[in-house]
């Protein structure tokens, strides 16, 4: 059985529909989508050890099946540059989580590399009652929040579908390199869209999927945050 199948089966056996970030990222990595390097720690000392293994700077996030919106809970601290900052951040995140939801189950803290900024992309999937999984692509931040500049296709996606989705958004020129910026790696974005399409076709148990943000670079992409919700 694949890692993805194991993770989904275990979560449903535990009565969980919300996958933890380490689970979501393990699944998408299996489908060829690059993610940040990550570790999980259950004590401040372990967090320091794992952070040093990854290399500074790092980001710490709360790992809890009961806290979906980590930032709202004060559960994300970024750009930590040394052991003291990691220890302090670990304790603060746990404290914030307990204040936010006293009965939340806490599985520890998720530690990931602090990735260099790229062009912010959002890739998602929602289940349409009539057509099944619909894949979404857009630029992140203000483009998706305010301008709703996104494209959709029903899975499964071909390489051409993925290419069309990327070219369709109004913000496409930003991906081609403007004002001296290097263009984003369109082939890597296409590969990511096709990989997500394959994943949701392989696992109809996936109800929602959100990769936000994915950073697009001139030579590849990297998923910074991933969320997968399963059907009950």
Which domains are assigned to the chain?
37-114 (3.30.1490.20), 119-230 (3.30.470.20)
For residue 107, what pLDDT is reported? Answer: 96
Band of residue 178 on the pLDDT scale cut at 50, 70, 90: confident
Residue 76 binned pLDDT confidence (cut-offs 50, 70, 90): very high
pLDDT at 75: 97
Per-residue pLDDT at 142: 72
pLDDT at 134: 98
191 pLDDT band, cuts 50/70/90, is very high
The residue-averaged pLDDT of 35-50 equals 98
**80, pLDDT greater than 90:** yes
| pLDDT: which is higher, 181 or 196 | 196
Each residue's pLDDT tens digit, 90-144: 999 999 999 999 999 999 999 999 999 999 999 999 998 899 999 999 998 777 7
Q: What per-residue confidence (pLDDT) applies to 104?
A: 96
Q: What is the pLDDT of residue 143?
A: 75
Instruction: Tell how strand 76-80 and strand 58-63 pair up.
Output: antiparallel
Q: What is the pTM of this model?
A: 0.94
């Amino acid at each position: 059985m694949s890692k993805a199948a194991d993770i989904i089966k275990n979560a449903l056996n535990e009565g969980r529909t919300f996958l933890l970030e380490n689970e979501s990222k393990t699944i998408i990595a299996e489908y060829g989508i690059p993610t940040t390097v990550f570790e999980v720690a259950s004590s401040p000392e372990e967090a320091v050890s794992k952070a040093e293994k990854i290399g500074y700077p790092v980001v710490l996030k709360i790992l809890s099946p009961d806290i979906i919106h980590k930032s709202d809970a004060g559960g994300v601290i970024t750009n930590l540059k040394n052991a003291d900052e990691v220890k302090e951040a670990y304790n603060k995140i746990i404290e914030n989580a307990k204040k936010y939801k006293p009965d939340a189950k806490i599985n520890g803290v998720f530690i990931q590399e602090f990735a260099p900024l790229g062009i912010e992309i959002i890739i998602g999937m929602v289940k349409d009652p009539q057509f099944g999984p619909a894949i979404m692509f857009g630029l992140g931040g203000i483009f998706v929040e305010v301008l709703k500049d996104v494209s959709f296709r029903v899975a499964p996606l071909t390489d051409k579908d993925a290419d069309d989705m990327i070219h369709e958004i109004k913000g496409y020129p930003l991906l081609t390199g403007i004002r001296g910026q290097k263009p984003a790696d369109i082939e890597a974005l296409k590969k990511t869209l096709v990989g997500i399409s394959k994943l949701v076709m392989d696992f109809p148990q996936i109800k929602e999927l959100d990769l936000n943000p994915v950073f697009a670079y001139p030579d590849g992409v990297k998923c910074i945050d991933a969320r997968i919700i399963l059907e009950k």
